[in-house]
Amino acid sequence: MTGDRLPGRLVLLGHPVSHSLSPAFQNAALRAAGIALTYELLDVAPDALPAALERLRADRAAGNVTIPHKDAVHARCGRLTTVARRVGAVNTFWVAEDGTLVGDNTDVAGFDAMAVQLGVGGADCVVACLGSGGAAAAVCAAVEQWPGAIVRLHGRSPERTRSLAARFGDRVQLAESLIAAIDGSHVVVNATPVGQRDADVPVEVASLPRDARVMDLVYRPGETRWVREARAAGHEAADGREMLLHQGAAAFERWFGRAPDLETMRRALHTAAGG
């Protein structure tokens, strides 16, 4: 953690990043805490990432990482937290006193908080997780801490999905098809980018188990189409805003050594997201 020393910069590193709601709530938290920094959007193409990280390290920057850089930043950090190593992806970073780039993953804490809000996470819960990237890995890392719970994992890339499932042992099962993943599940989680443009849904609502809860890690103004349709069909459903909020609050605490004003962050996020 940066402790009492302020970072030189505070950024969100991704490509693209213009759609992000993170500046709205992080800057609200900074103002509430009286911290004289501005949370910036930093759009960096994959081939420019190594040079960008070197500049950020020289600037003693801190920040967040989003698509498509979570795995690449993980590989380039000089030190990783235990949870970042477990997930295999970094969404939060800072520069230590000795100049080392440190990577963490607060998506796990964010997913846990979102699950609590939706009443998910009891013993023997069956979670269908769609995806095989960093977000799906965070879901697996969170669910393996729930007593007796399992993840049924299904992704578009068979090789990547098998590799992710293998890292978590028996608590994460490889589903050979979408239907096999969701059949009889208590929770269906979209950990893919599907839904960012509101044109497609990760799985048709009519195919969901009757009492399944829906957790869409994608967020957009007015919620995602999948969440709206699932709720209209009688499912408890939430988009990724609450996960975004709580991972951001956890990141703030890593950077500054103190918790932010969560309600100030939540109000700013919901205003930016259209209520």
Q: Show pLDDT as tens, one digit a residue, over the chain (275 residues).
A: 554 579 999 999 999 999 889 999 999 999 999 999 999 999 999 999 999 999 999 999 999 999 899 999 999 999 999 999 999 999 999 999 999 999 999 999 999 999 999 999 877 899 999 999 889 999 999 999 999 999 999 999 999 999 999 999 999 999 999 999 999 999 999 999 888 776 789 999 999 999 999 999 998 878 899 999 999 999 999 999 999 999 999 999 999 999 999 999 999 999 998 76
Whether 5 is covered by a domain: the verdict is no
Whether 228 is covered by a domain: the verdict is yes
Q: What are phi and psi of 213, to 5 degrees?
A: -90, 155
Q: Are both 74 and 139 inside the same structural domain?
A: no
Say how far apart CA 255 and CA 258 lie, in whole Å: 8
Q: Are both 164 and 217 inside the same structural domain?
A: yes
Identify the CA nearest to 133 among candidates 72, 213, 208.
Answer: 72
- Look at the chain and report how many structural domains it folds into: 2
Q: For the beta carbon of residue 32, count every other beta carbon within 10 angstroms.
A: 14
Q: Are both 231 and 161 inside the same structural domain?
A: yes
Catalytic residue positions? 70
Name residue 10's beta-bridge partners: 39, 62
pTM: 0.91
End-to-end CA distance of the chain: 33
Q: Which domain holds residue 68?
A: 10-106+242-272
